[in-house]
């Protein structure tokens, strides 16, 4: 990937978390349509984020006092400190406003403003509650496993029947067959996904039955045209059909 592409993707990421701050204040969520279910995951990291924000604010005030006599340095450090506080809050805002989303046809798993993995429900082989604490050396180490950890943990594992493509923040594409993510209400999330899979299976079965019925109506019932053609040929040649009257052939009728 070129440096320009990486910079553009980083700039887009900055724009997403800044936008998330506005949506957070407005108490709205991004990308959750009516009828879709949001699966939140920001609660696990809330205490850590708010604690770090408090430390950053204390640091900002302390540096402001220490650098009160140096106007230029004070302004530069004030800008850096305020931007740091906004970045930390934006990290939490992106997680709150961009939850996982369970729709009628797919499951969208998000990692704040960094990335999103779309999984069609028909490709999910199994989903289960599976609490894991992720260690640094295990993160996405298998190549076919994507982990969207929150506060160092995942709680739901999704096994796929067919792989999906996951795109990282800087654009690297990965083919994954197993996705682990965290949800604040993990067991309820597992139940919801299973119900969505069942409903999707029923819809797919009805669509397949409707398509088959349409094909049969368009082509006619098998053997109907052949039987009709044979009947017409029998009448044209005067050959009596099975169970038909022999008078049509002109042969004398023996009466018993």
Nearest to 242 by CA among 230, 252, 251, 250: 230
Q: What's the distance, CA 143 to chain centroid?
A: 19
- Rounded Cα distance between 183 and 44, Å, is 8
In this structure, what are the phi and psi dihedrals at residue 36, rounded to the nearest 5 degrees?
A: -95, 155
What residue ranges of the chain have pLDDT lower than 70? 1, 136-143, 219-256
- What is the pTM (predicted TM-score) of this model? 0.76
Strand stretches in the chain, DSSP E = 37-39, 100-102, 106-110, 116-120, 124-133, 145-148, 153-167, 173-181
Nearest to 115 by CA among 100, 130, 137: 100
Instruction: Find the farthest-apart pair of alpha carbons in the chain and give their distance in angstroms, rounded.
Output: 133
Q: What is the pLDDT of residue 136?
A: 53
pLDDT single digits (tens) 119-165: 999 999 999 999 999 875 444 444 689 999 999 999 999 999 999 99
- Evaluate whether 20 touches 98 at the Cβ level (below 8 Å): yes
Q: Describe the crossing of helices 3-25 and 71-97 by its angle, rounded to 10 degrees.
A: 80
Q: What is the pLDDT of residue 200?
A: 87
What are the structure tokens assigned to 15, written together? 């724009």
Tell how strand 116-120 and strand 124-133 pair up.
unpaired
Q: What is the pLDDT of residue 210?
A: 82
Q: What is the dihedral of CA 129, 39, 132, 142, to 10 degrees?
A: 100
Q: What is the pLDDT of residue 140?
A: 47
């Amino acid at each position: 990937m070129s440096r320009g592409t990486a910079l553009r993707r980083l700039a887009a990421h900055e724009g997403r978390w800044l936008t998330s701050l506005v949506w957070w204040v407005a108490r709205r969520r991004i990308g959750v349509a009516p009828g879709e279910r949001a699966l939140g995951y920001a609660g696990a990291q809330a205490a850590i984020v708010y604690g770090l924000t408090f430390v950053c604010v204390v640091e900002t005030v302390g540096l402001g006092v220490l650098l009160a006599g140096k106007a230029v340095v004070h302004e530069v450090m004030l800008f850096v400190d305020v931007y740091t506080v906004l970045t930390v809050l934006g990290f939490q805002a992106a997680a709150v406003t961009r939850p996982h989303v369970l729709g009628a046809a797919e499951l969208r798993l998000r990692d704040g403003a960094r990335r999103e993995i779309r999984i069609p429900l028909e490709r999910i082989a199994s989903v289960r509650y599976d609490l894991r604490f992720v260690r640094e050396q295990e993160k996405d180490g298998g190549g076919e496993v994507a982990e969207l950890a929150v506060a160092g943990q995942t709680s739901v594992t999704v096994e796929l029947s067919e792989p999906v493509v996951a795109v990282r923040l800087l654009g690297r594409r990965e083919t994954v067959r197993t996705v682990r993510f965290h949800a604040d209400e993990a067991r309820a999330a597992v139940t919801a996904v299973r119900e969505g899979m069942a409903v999707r299976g029923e819809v797919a079965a009805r669509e397949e039955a409707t398509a088959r019925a349409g094909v049969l109506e368009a082509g006619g019932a098998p053997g109907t045209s052949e039987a009709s053609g044979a009947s017409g040929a029998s009448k044209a040649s005067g050959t009596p059909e099975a169970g038909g009257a022999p008078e049509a052939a002109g042969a004398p009728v023996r009466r018993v």
